[in-house]
Amino acid sequence: MKQNIVEKILSSHIREGQPVKGSEVGIRIAQTLTQDATGTMAYLQFEAMGLKEIKTDISVSYVDHNTVQVGFENSDDHKYLQTVAAKYGIVYSRPGNGICHQVHLERFGKPGTTLLGSDSHTPTGGGIGQIAIGAGGLDVAVAMGGGLFYLTYPKVYLVNLTGELKPWVTAKDIVLHMLSILTTKGNVGVMLEYGGPGVKTLSVPQRATIANMGAEMGVTCSVFPSDSVTKKFLKAQGRENDWVELKADKGAKYDRVIDVDLSSLEPLAACPHSPGNIKKISELEGISVDQVCIGSCTNSSLRDMLTVAAILKGRKVSDTVSLGIAPGSRQVLQMMARKGALADLLDSGARILESACGFCIGNHFSPKSGGVSLRTSNRNFEARSGTADAQVYLVSPEMAALAAITGKITSPSKSGIDYPQIKEPSSFLIDDSMFIKPSPALKSTEIFRGPNIGEPPKNGPMPESLNGAVQIVLGDKITTDHIMPAGARLKYRSNVPKYAQYVFENIDPQFYKKCLDNKSAGGHNVIVAGESYGQGSSREHAAMCPMYLGVKAVLAKSFERIHSANLINFGIAPLVFKNPSDIEKIKPGDKLTCRAWKETFEKGETVKLLNERSGETIEALCSLSPRQTNILIAGGLLNHTTKEDKCLK
């Protein structure tokens, strides 16, 4: 049978289920990655499952999110991560070594294999030909222990690239163009495969930029062929042996084909407050800019940095702009230093930030009140920058550099600057000294637990009946940033009772208290929402903390993939309105009850919720696989795994 690339990789990793679109399959995971913000809980859960060592080909624990170490909490978490990695055979990437996705691409990503990461931008690995998927920390912990990862066998869309990019038009513009087509909702259960003659014109880091922002479309992952360009990149990283060729068979089938002529594209921007709000740079020209941030896992490769340095060389950053640059990895930073690009940036007035997530997650470098910030990152959700009323535009490094010089959004044609053509190096500087690799001697390491490290919260099994109080009614596109704020709050991520105090902090600061009061009076809590609930981050805390607050169900018009899986993993039912307009029939404070709650799931029936206030019945669907039903009834994956040892083979 003729196979596309997705089918090829999946078929060599499927261990359970059949490759039938829409049905659940279990795949073997070859590599995992975690980062510090999701990692502590992933490893606490790994420990709670009683696992002795990792069973993947390689698992890497990166520290890149909370590197600033304000207060003791982050430093304690980092020490915990380092010691847990030593004990269980995990590679530890020290703070300063770079952003997980960029570093993984450079040093570990392997074409034709599977990668599962506790971060929604794990699909960056698709740039090197991996099926790389983002998931909650608990799923990653199970995969580290040799358990399968379950997903819906996907629909595959081919993105057929033809032509070549014009000067000043970049990989970022390709993916922003894709966002204008596929939007930020409704692509659950889809994988994108890039193909066509235009692919060979894109380097691996450019492909990675494109695969990275597939996360914003809600697709499970995006994958590129592994070709001579991939081979060259791996050779330059001293990893030629990791290369295998990967291409679709002639005549392979796709569920949809999207044609993109690269030569027809022009510079684009995602406008506030959604990565799907796409406009042309030429339409935005003249908007004054207060801040420019270049970096993040989307655009922080050596090529990006050298391009920016070449644009800024001999020029000065505008007096009205603060320019921050965070190279994606220590390798990138070291090479920038050796090539003189770092000096060019410093001369221009750029502020060099650590090779870490930093500004992207609102950890620092927040814009001024109402400020306009141009960023090369992937998300511009309201308040994510740390400033509630900031206006964040997502652009390419090239557009960011031009705006840093002129102080406003500027079309390249008006800049009078020639486009610098940067070539990929034939060899990268290889210095793995900031990784601590596993060794037999490290196995006896004692695990360090500071006072910020709590226990993973426990949940009881599913109750027989639901006595639900609607604690909040929300609109469409609620992100996990809305549910569980990031930025300064991230440092409480290893301490669920503390972090749970901030659930919906920016929407209803009383949510936490109302839930706990109702829970202690013996009631259950329910969240009601519109479309695409749980967009964005893979943050399992957006399910774990509501679970801690006694939430038993989220009733929404639709869910995003990772969050829906996380809800099930923490024993919360993701219910979909049978009639979306029924959301109008529910008000905050309503009581939604269901006598035969557990039985309904056991029988796989439509869920009938009685609104005690109006006497109306609201019907909801919960299409679960038998495996998911068992997890939900057990009260979550941790209970299910430890009780029945079901997931670990």
Size of the site for ligand MIC (CB under 6 A): 13
Query: Does the footprint of ligand SF4 cover residue 61 (CB under 6 A)?
Result: no
Residue closest to 210 by CA, chosen among 93, 128, 140:
128
Query: Does the footprint of ligand SF4 cover residue 116 (CB under 6 A)?
Result: no
Minimum CB separation of residue 100 from ligand MIC in Å reads 9
Minimum CB separation of residue 537 from ligand SF4 in Å reads 7
In one-letter notation, the amino acid at residue 469 is A
Distance CA 314, CA 334 (A): 21
Stretch that binds ligand SF4, among 243-251, 355-363, 415-423, 570-578 (CB under 6 A): 355-363
Distance CA 164, CA 203 (A): 12
**Nearer to ligand MIC among residue 34 and residue 130 (C-beta):** 34
Residue with tokens 């950890």: 363
Rounded to 10 degrees, the C-alpha dihedral 420/424/427/428 comes to 80
Query: Does the footprint of ligand SF4 cover residue 378 (CB under 6 A)?
Result: yes
**Nearer to ligand SF4 among residue 81 and residue 360 (C-beta):** 360
Query: Does the footprint of ligand SF4 cover residue 115 (CB under 6 A)?
Result: no
Minimum CB separation of residue 31 from ligand SF4 in Å reads 17
Minimum CB separation of residue 357 from ligand SF4 in Å reads 3
Q: Give 97's contacts (C-beta < 8 A, 6+ positions apart).
A: 62, 63, 64, 103, 329, 330, 355, 434, 435
Q: 204-212 and 228-236 are packed helices; what angle lies between their axes, rounded to 10 degrees?
A: 100
Residue with tokens 């208290």: 513
Cα 77–chain centre separation:
20
Minimum CB separation of residue 356 from ligand SF4 in Å reads 8
**Nearer to ligand SF4 among residue 65 and residue 177 (C-beta):** 65
Residue closest to 436 by CA, chosen among 11, 54, 49, 79:
79
Strand 591-594 to strand 607-611: parallel, antiparallel, or no bridges (unpaired)? Answer: antiparallel
Minimum CB separation of residue 172 from ligand MIC in Å reads 16
Contact 564, 558 (CB under 8 A): no
One of 7, 119, 290, 590 touching ligand MIC (CB under 6 A): 119
**Nearer to ligand SF4 among residue 377 and residue 385 (C-beta):** 377
One of 38, 206, 366, 387 touching ligand MIC (CB under 6 A): 38
Query: Does the footprint of ligand MIC cover residue 220 (CB under 6 A)?
Result: no
**Binding residues among 529-558 for ligand MIC as defined by CB under 6 A:** 536-539
Minimum CB separation of residue 412 from ligand MIC in Å reads 28
Strand segments (E) across 563-616: 573-577, 591-594, 607-611
Query: Does the footprint of ligand MIC cover residue 102 (CB under 6 A)?
Result: no
Minimum CB separation of residue 64 from ligand MIC in Å reads 9
Check residue 133 and report its DSSP letter: E
**Could you give the residue ranges of the DSSP H alpha helices within 21-136?**
36-48, 72-88, 100-107
**Nearer to ligand MIC among residue 33 and residue 400 (C-beta):** 33
Distance CA 555, CA 571 (A): 14
DSSP-based three-state secondary structure for 382: coil
Stretch that binds ligand SF4, among 164-172, 353-361, 405-413, 501-509 (CB under 6 A): 353-361
Query: Does the footprint of ligand SF4 cover residue 99 (CB under 6 A)?
Result: yes
Binding partner selected for residue 496 from ligand SF4, ligand MIC, none, CB under the kind-specific 5 to 8 Å limit: none
Residue closest to 579 by CA, chosen among 632, 617, 623, 628:
617
Binding partner selected for residue 38 from ligand SF4, ligand MIC, none, CB under the kind-specific 5 to 8 Å limit: ligand MIC
**Nearer to ligand SF4 among residue 119 and residue 398 (C-beta):** 119
Residue closest to 430 by CA, chosen among 299, 336, 335, 302:
335
Distance CA 363, CA 361 (A): 6
Residue closest to 392 by CA, chosen among 414, 361, 413:
361
Minimum CB separation of residue 588 from ligand SF4 in Å reads 31
Interface ranges with ligand SF4 (CB under 6 A): 65, 99, 119, 121, 296-297, 357, 360-361, 377-378
Interface ranges with ligand MIC (CB under 6 A): 37-38, 65, 119-121, 134, 361, 486, 536-539
